[in-house]
Every structure is written in C-alpha cells, then in structure tokens.
A = this chain, B = another copy of it.
C-alpha cells in the first residue's frame, strides 16, 4: 500500500483563533518591571511603542482563544496551512523504529515561520492607523518577514540590519528591498544612538542590541510610527501558535500523537508556536508529551542560564523581564545560526521551564550542520542553520529510540530553509567551521553581574 508522506489541511481548516497559553498556565508568568519605578509594566507603558491590539494581546492573561482577524487569515492563505511531513527517508537513513514528523514552515514565501507574526503585527499596526513601522534584524529572517507583511498591509518599513549581516548576507537585504522596505545598516547616522556609537567606534560592525535601540528611537521620533519585534514577547508566541494548532489536526490525520516535540530555540517564537497547543493537553488531558528545545552550545540560556529579571536588550533600554538568561551583555560566539544568538528566553517559556514542563538540550555547531546535510540529502530541504539544531536534536532522539528498541513518535518544527544561508554550508563542507565551548566560569562571571539589577 502506498504510504502518505505529506498531511495537508484545506484552507477551511486554517485555525480561526490563536491559543493564548497564559490563560491556562498553572503558574502565570511574573510581570515585566519598569527599571526606573520598579513597578509592574502596564498596557499604558507599552502603548507608545507598540500598536494597541498587540499590547492588549501581550497583557491578556485570561482569554485562552483570541480570534485571528479575517484579513490576517486571508493573508495566511498565501502559504498556510503548511504541510506536516513524515520523514520516511530520514528514518530509513537512521534505521530507527521512531516515526519522525516535521511541520514544514519553510514553505512561507519568506522561507520561515516569522511571517506568522509579521502579518499579524502589520495588520494591527494598520488597524491602529499607523503608517510607518520600524524593526531590527540580525540574521535577516525577521526583517524579510516584516518587509513582506508591511507591503501587504501598505505600511512603510525601516529595518535596521546589523552592519556585519548587511554586508555578509546581501541576499536577505535584497529580499527586503524587493518587498519595498528601507534597509539601513546599523549603527547608522540616522539616530542619536547610532551616531554616538559611530563617533566612539567608527569601525563597529553592529549588534542586535544597537539595532534595537535605533529602531526604537526612530519609532518614538516618527509621527504615526510603531516598533515591531520578532520574538521573545508574549504576543509573538501567541501568533506562532497557528503552527501547533495545525500540527495537532495533522497528527490526527496521521493517526499518531507525538511523544516528543522538538524545536530550535532563539528567543522562543517557533518553539512556542509548535509546543503550546500540545502543552495544553499535558495541562488538561493527562498527555505526557515531552517538549525539547534545542539551543546552540555557544548560547545555552535554558540549559546553563539562570532564572532572573534581566533586560531584553544589550544596552538595558527595555523593561526588566523575568527570564532564563545568560546576562544581557552576554556576547555569544559568531555561529551561523544567527537567529539563536540571544541571551534570554521569553517570559512564558521561562516560567514553563522553571515549572518543569519543558526540557532543553544544547547542540554544537558542527553537529547542527552535520544534521542539516543529512536532512538535505534525505528529505531534500536544506534547513536553515537555526532549524538544523532541531534536526540534530531529533536525530539524537531517534537514535536513542533505536538503541532502546522502542517505537517513539517525534515531531519537530522545521522553522525555515537555508537557501539564503548557503555560504554557511559552504564553510561547513570546506571544514572551516568550529565548535565553541563555554566554561562554567565564563557563564558564572557574566551572570554574577546580574545580581545588582534586582
């Protein structure tokens, strides 16, 4: 009998609501705190920076289901529902009894899951009468998503792109420009924050922290302008739950339920997206699915960080956020999975981790690319360097199942493809990449600096 490889949902099965896990968490996340007043952050504190609809979602701890506006659903149809795929060819290569499924978010026109939140954010900005938006991008996945989403909803977007990426990742820059965004290498002369840094360090190659500062400054000083962010925040995780909600229906079509769900971990957006809808069945229906985040060994916030109030950005401009962190001034090695180089985990994920609902593993750079190449050679798709961490963790689980001789159903999120990151595969194949290790001391010293914060 012929085997089904891809489980496809018709557009009529596109989720009508996002799942807001905050409403159902056994322990709610602690609030963000204003670093000056030491008071809990309120919606009013956030309205100047973000569109109202997004702030209200950020603060909503009571409604488990939040309706997806019809205009957003219409735009989701450009690429959603995305396929759930049984990785038969990978299973065969590993000779494992495990059944491996992946949710293929790489089919979005921007090549990653980031568009799920970008479309929602652009919509709520448009709805609030906003005409201009700003954001920052490091590796470029979020920037490209926001560029297309802004075009779709008729907004003018300015993206501050970390200067070294601007130069090393010209394809991402071209993509943003093709979709009509203005892309500025950061640090730039267009903001006070940028000018200050350029004056002090003329050859500085930029950082996400600096780019955030510039994007925020531009948003605050431009009429009718809001700032947008691609991960970490609650409303971003909320939008990403379309991934898991679709996957839930698709696993049912496949006649299986996942024993383990795996996703790579940067700030937490794709991880939240695929896990939260399943996690609710652990909360309520006695399911015992394991949820495993795969982070890079060089940026191990969940496996080796501490749970602490910390700033969300390097410069310390954001509210204080309760999170697993390596310290906001932690400088991760320059691995190619640029989207995973963030010092902390979002509030919700951090609380769930603290409460033992989640697990975390770390993957070193060479193992991530080795896994990426095997996946490309078996399933065809070249994974983004970030997503290759999830592939590596999946392979480890599948090999463990083989060792133990147990059948196991594994689901992982293929958050994006690597077609615009081929230079990193090039360097891997040429033997030019290395692993980065951190001593306990490196981490402890950086975390020690946090004690004075709160």
Contact = CB atoms under 8 A, between A and B. Distances in A.
Contact of A170 (B110, B174, B423): B423
Interface string A388-422: 00000000000000000000000000000001101
A8 B5 contact: no
B77 A5 contact: yes
A376 interface: yes
Interface string A108-134: 111100000000000000000000000
A286 interface: no
Given A180-B377, A377-B151, A382 B425 contact: no
Contact of A77 (B6, B77, B425): B6
A441 interface: no
Interface in A1-48: 2-6, 8, 10-12
A311 interface: no
B382 A175 contact: yes
A50 interface: no
A163 B396 CA distance: 40
Contacts of A73: 2
B5 A171 contact: no
Contacts of A3: 74
A12 B2 contact: yes
Interface residues of A, number: 47
A367 interface: no
A240 to B, nearest CB: 18
A79 interface: yes
Given A78-B379, A179-B377, A429-B178, A419 B111 contact: yes
A259 interface: no
B178 A376 contact: yes
Contacts of A152: 89
A381 interface: yes
A373 interface: yes
A78 B5 CA distance: 7
A202 interface: no
A381 B78 CA distance: 9
A178 B383 CA distance: 11
A110 B180 CA distance: 26
Given A380-B79, A382-B178, A429-B178, A10 B11 contact: no
A148 interface: yes
Contacts of A435: none
**What's the dominant secondary structure at chain A's contact region?**
helix
A222 interface: no
A177 interface: yes
Contacts of A373: 178
Contacts of A180: 377
Contacts of A78: 5, 89, 379-380
A379 B148 CA distance: 10
Contacts of A11: 2, 4-6
A426 interface: yes
A3 B4 CA distance: 27
A262 interface: no
Nearest to A115: B380
Contacts of A208: none
A380 B110 contact: yes
Given A6-B11, A10-B8, A11-B6, A425 B174 contact: yes
A428 to B, nearest CB: 9
A139 to B, nearest CB: 15
> In the complex, which of the residues A3, A8, A10, A151 has the most CB atoms of chain B within 10 Å of its own CB atom?
A8
10 contacts: A2-B12, A2-B70, A5-B78, A6-B77, A108-B380, A109-B379, A148-B380, A171-B171, A178-B422, A178-B429
Given A171-B423, A174-B426, 17 more contacts: A2-B70, A4-B10, A5-B77, A6-B77, A8-B10, A78-B379, A108-B380, A109-B381, A171-B419, A171-B422, A174-B429, A175-B382, A175-B419, A177-B429, A178-B373, A178-B429, A420-B422
